[in-house]
Structure 1
């Protein structure tokens, strides 16, 4: 009954948080906006109701602490993010924050040998400044001062936005946590994929977060009249790109990576003109960093061969990279034992192809993640949905994990 009530409460709170949006008829909540302030004020109120000490840090993360009367260990941190993409769903990030608060509420009368902090990271998505993981980077001690000069679409710098929000820009990142003071970081998150639903499982233990590289490729040929240039004399950049895109798909299937072309711009873009230039993106990911590195090199070489055969010029620019991050084996084992106990089923282990705040928190501590099934794997979309029963199971598992760690780390 406690888990049922907690799950129902979390579903209602998810609906309430979705009200704090800059988008009419939808959910968009970006960093250092009035909606950010409203959402964190509400989260702070719920933290206080859970008998947690609350505060806001130097970059606008919202914290709540279950204080240990006699802490003998470093602090356990539980968290996720409260910001969203544009036209988002209700549960990406937010569910993990609400689960953390409710778990500590359920443990209000339980004495633990360490402090437990729950954090709502203020920016994971990068919706406003195109600089992701600002909140967790600040906590992990890797906030970059040059980010303060990045501007949003209204030409406002992050430094100016911090000041407008009521935070001194010169103190951003100054309250980072130290490794010796941090026991571990736990994050519960919707899967954002279809695997758990396919397995008919409510939750799964995360083994790691895939590393990623992103490139922009420019393919140059020769524009010409669509009716007068013979097919075998063309330097059609779009045909070259089409062959490359299919080659990328085949390569990914053969080398156990995922690779995506998500954007393609054709020039001059006229119905009766042979495409002379194509710009397209490549996103390649792997849970193994060595595989990511070798496959990125090999795939780009394969694309260059296609370009040369078609008498096209190819240029590539790396836009982004993130290291593959494994979850701590000990935390995977603990999550697995808790899941088996709470569900009566063998724990299911899966990797995350999406990035999370946990990948930054690994800079200062061990990380452990639990995924919650989401309908059809849909995320970053208004149709994002979870089952209340699954939320109850996740809550039960998180409470069990905190208790398990209290025992394991004091023996």
Structure 2
């Protein structure tokens, strides 16, 4: 198991890695994405698995008859956020192939088909919407909406797919494929420090906090930075800055999360007062009522500061994912399997991060395993996991797959 994991990890590690930051830029339908897809296909074919790409661009590798039904599927994604870490997504895909290798070494006799999946565009780094591949598959994103998504260079998702050799006219819901799946188990590095403060290398997910993305447009008046008096300015940057501070205050008071992590400025000149500042808010909370209250408070603050500064403020919700509680029966079965087979306690914990497993949970039973992250850092080149913990994750995933597919 260790040898195959290391070999796969070493092959995947250089793809899309920046020399300056050490982080990854594996964005959807780019050259780095194509290299990741080629790696996945090679892993499937090296193991004699049935390889296919669905009409939404998600990759599948099947052990057993894909049409038999009641399949157990595992996997994650291979794309990244800008300058992201090595583990977020790829750990789940590499561990999935390594777990299949482990099952073969054990001589496991499968009663259900097994599959490994790589869902496309999970992070949404290029087109601004997370989990595009799984959202399309589950019917939570219409083909028309998806095809119109644009990147910062005004390239649409449809154009990007076509340039990469895929048919954007074919995308859409895939109920027939979902009907074949009896359980989906996604392994992922923990994006927090819960497990780091325990002796347990692996945990089971209980729920995903509700979360969403909102675009705030602050429109003012472009002018000369060196000649315009302070009292004559309509500077949207000032309103934006105060809104960022208000977001921090609202989140802290509600024990929630609110982050302005992306901003664009027009005309974006050092000696020019901006005409437009556009900021994207990511907000998450333990329940939907709290999340709604936090975002409403931030919007209210933006409008109040805009009125004071002479700035027009508009807010657009670009995405929203409600609270996800993973299927209790599957979650409890997985926790029970690990309690029987692993020599450590397996905590059950929630997460504030969105995942393909959360999107699919409305259509099929899903659950997640988390691998301990010693620093809790994620979406950064500093993201890490110890070798022993990664291998413990592979062993735990193999136990789960064996219990579900062989029992």
Equivalent runs, 1:147-226 vs 2, <5 Å = 147-152=146-151, 156-173=155-172, 175-217=174-216
Instruction: Tell me, yes or no, if structure 1 residue 119 matches structure 2 residue 117.
Output: yes
Please, what TM-score do these two structures have when normalized by structure 2? 0.81
Shift of 1:80: 0.5
Aligned mates of 1:269, 1:17 — CA distance in 2: 37
Aligned mates of 1:65, 1:341 — CA distance in 2: 27
What's the counterpart of residue 282 of structure 2?
A: 283
What's the counterpart of residue 3 of structure 1?
A: none
Instruction: Tell me, yes or no, if structure 1 residue 33 matches structure 2 residue 34.
Output: no
Shift of 1:114: 1.6
Q: Secondary structure at the match of 1:282?
A: strand
The superposition leaves residues 328-359 of structure 1 with CA deviations (integer Å, 9 ceiling, x where unpaired) of: 11222223223434443332232222221122
Aligned mates of 1:245, 1:154 — CA distance in 2: 26
The superposition leaves residues 380-408 of structure 1 with CA deviations (integer Å, 9 ceiling, x where unpaired) of: 2223221111111111111111233247x
The 8 Å contact of residues 239 and 311 in structure 2, kept in 1 or not, is answered as: no
Aligned mates of 2:387, 2:405 — CA distance in 1: 27
Shift in CA distance, 219/389, structure 1 to aligned 2, threshold 3 Å: same
Unaligned runs of at least 5 residues, structure 1: 1-5
Please, what TM-score do these two structures have when normalized by structure 1? 0.80
Shift in CA distance, 239/371, structure 1 to aligned 2, threshold 3 Å: same
Shift in CA distance, 179/20, structure 1 to aligned 2, threshold 3 Å: closer
Shift in CA distance, 260/86, structure 1 to aligned 2, threshold 3 Å: closer
What's the counterpart of residue 10 of structure 1?
A: 5
Aligned mates of 1:344, 1:238 — CA distance in 2: 55
2:78 to 78, 82, 89: 82
Instruction: Tell me, yes or no, if structure 1 residue 259 matches structure 2 residue 254.
Output: no
1:56 to 47, 53, 58: 53
Shift in CA distance, 253/221, structure 1 to aligned 2, threshold 3 Å: same
Shift of 1:287: 3.4
Unaligned runs of at least 5 residues, structure 2: none
Moved more, 56-65 or 314-323: 314-323
Aligned mates of 2:125, 2:25 — CA distance in 1: 9
Aligned mates of 1:285, 1:74 — CA distance in 2: 33
What's the counterpart of residue 381 of structure 2?
A: 382
The 8 Å contact of residues 134 and 359 in structure 2, kept in 1 or not, is answered as: yes
Shift in CA distance, 170/289, structure 1 to aligned 2, threshold 3 Å: same
Q: Secondary structure at the match of 2:375?
A: helix
Aligned mates of 1:8, 1:88 — CA distance in 2: 25
Instruction: Tell me, yes or no, if structure 1 residue 334 matches structure 2 residue 333.
Output: yes
The 8 Å contact of residues 377 and 383 in structure 2, kept in 1 or not, is answered as: yes
The 8 Å contact of residues 206 and 369 in structure 1, kept in 2 or not, is answered as: yes
What's the counterpart of residue 107 of structure 1?
A: 103
Equivalent runs, 1:85-100 vs 2, <5 Å = 85-100=81-96
What's the counterpart of residue 360 of structure 1?
A: 359
Instruction: Tell me, yes or no, if structure 1 residue 136 matches structure 2 residue 131.
Output: no
Equivalent runs, 1:340-351 vs 2, <5 Å = 340-351=339-350
Q: Secondary structure at the match of 1:376?
A: coil
Q: Secondary structure at the match of 1:377?
A: coil
The superposition leaves residues 166-185 of structure 1 with CA deviations (integer Å, 9 ceiling, x where unpaired) of: 33333233755455432121
Shift of 1:294: 3.7
Shift of 1:280: 4.5
- Between the two proteins, the alignment pairs up a number of residues equal to 399
The 8 Å contact of residues 66 and 180 in structure 2, kept in 1 or not, is answered as: no
Shift of 1:8: 4.5
The 8 Å contact of residues 141 and 177 in structure 1, kept in 2 or not, is answered as: no
